[in-house]
Amino acid sequence: MEYEIGGDELVSTAVVRAVSAIEGREPCFLRPLADVVDPAVLDTLFDPRYDGTPRTGGRLSFVYNDCYITIDNGEYLTLQLLEDRFCDERDP
């Protein structure tokens, strides 16, 4: 699943929303994101620079709630359920 992060949406919020959507569960029933990564640090990694120019080229991947998540440039999330990811790696 791909998810485009809104211009005024925090990256940490986008992660929780996207995982909630792919798992079909309300965000309040997910494991806290802070158990995996500090949400404030995650947001800061993709914040604009001090002079207001956007950061470019950043990429971060991690596992949260049985999903493999990749954040590209603070603009896009790619989510894959771990069970699907491992099946794909075994298939030729």
**pLDDT tens per residue, range 51-65:** 888 777 789 999 999
- As a whole number of angstroms, the distance between CA 90 and CA 33 comes to 29
- As a whole number of angstroms, the distance between CA 56 and CA 7 comes to 14
User: To 10 degrees, the CA torsion angle through 20, 22, 24, 26?
Assistant: 0
**pLDDT tens per residue, range 10-35:** 999 999 999 999 989 999 999 999 99
Q: What is the pTM of this model?
A: 0.84
Residue 90 has pLDDT above 70, yes or no: no
Residue 69 has pLDDT above 90, yes or no: yes
Question: Tell me, what's the pLDDT at 50?
Answer: 85
Give CA angle at 41 (37, 44), nearest 5°.
Answer: 140
CB of 61 within 8 A of CB of 69?
yes
Q: Which pair of tokens denotes residue 61?
A: 């991947």
